[in-house]
Copies of this chain bind each other. A is one copy, B any other.
Amino acid sequence: MSQGFFYPRTSTGRSSLLPAPPWFYSGDLLTVEYRTDPERVAALLPAPLELAPEDPGAVAFIWADWQSCSSSREELLDPIRSQYKEAFVVIRCSFEGRTYSRCAFIWVDKDFAMLRGIHQGYPKKLGSIHQTRPHALAQAAPQVATGGRFGATLAAGDRRLAEAVITLTEPSDTNGFVNGHPMAHHRVLPAIDSNGDAYAELVESGASDFEVGATYAATVDHFDLFQSPTEEIADLPVREIIGGYYRQVGVVWNGGRSLAALATDGPAETLAP
């Protein structure tokens, strides 16, 4: 009997890179929301997804500094197994009359985070991600408070891809609106003979539990996206900054549900709900 949630599977399951969900997260999110040309967002939405009806060109660029663990919490005491950072681009879309958030691009810095992405439909690559950390002592750190300044950078393939600087202005009830819906992601596995996909599915997922800590609105003092021959984020140019946010969160993720089985070489068929 083979055990283990995902690769590698063995008779014990002990060496699986991923424990079974639920997965637990504590971390800080630094968000820049902006508007790009809606047709650029549309170009990132494969069938059966369509543009969101309102503010269709809105984008959220989010950095996150995470600690995560399984139900055993054992990863927290061997922290190379629990700490990771990520930077990701969120757009919105519409499916069967409902608005979803969707991760268009994402970089992480650990293998377990990358494999989680395969499961959740996040299109993960490895990157080098950094964001300023708040600290109780101010000698070399901002606080999560009005006036706190935070920087964030993303690189991959030895090229800097994005950078931001924000200054917190006042407490906020929200962390923006672009990443505020359930996520709609394509989960795919190309066919082993390279002839289309062996498996393709549209899934919905989101936090099964979500706790919000300190949240601030921020001015966006600096935000830049850079060209790279292997990336397309600079093809989502900034037409208008919407705003910046800083939020501390605690999250539980415990799976999602299938929205549609997608044809591997033709139009999608919608599953019965």
Listed in ascending order, the chain A residues whose CB lies under 8 Å from chain B are 1-2, 5-12, 14-15, 17, 20-21, 24-28, 43-44, 46-47, 66-69, 73, 76-83, 104-105, 110-111, 114-115, 117-126, 128, 130-133, 135-142, 149-153, 155, 157-160, 163, 165, 186-194, 198-199, 201, 203, 205, 209, 211, 213-214, 229-232, 248-252, 254-258
Contacts and interface: CB of A to CB of B under 8 A. Distances in A.
A76 B248 contact: no
A214 B41 CA distance: 47
A153 B78 contact: yes
Nearest to A82: B140
A151 B9 contact: no
A190 B251 CA distance: 21
A142 B12 CA distance: 29
Number of copies: 4
Contacts of A153: 78-80, 158
Contact of A187 (B11, B27, B189): B189
A110 B126 CA distance: 8
A126 B149 contact: no
Contacts of A214: 136
B43 A137 contact: no
A79 B159 contact: no
A136 B213 contact: yes
22 contacts: A7-B122, A8-B125, A9-B186, A9-B188, A10-B232, A11-B44, A14-B232, A15-B231, A17-B123, A17-B125, A24-B139, A26-B141, A27-B140, A76-B141, A79-B151, A118-B118, A119-B189, A119-B192, A130-B158, A139-B209, A192-B255, A193-B255
A188 B9 CA distance: 10
A78 B151 contact: yes
A205 B258 CA distance: 30
Contacts of A9: 46, 123, 186, 188
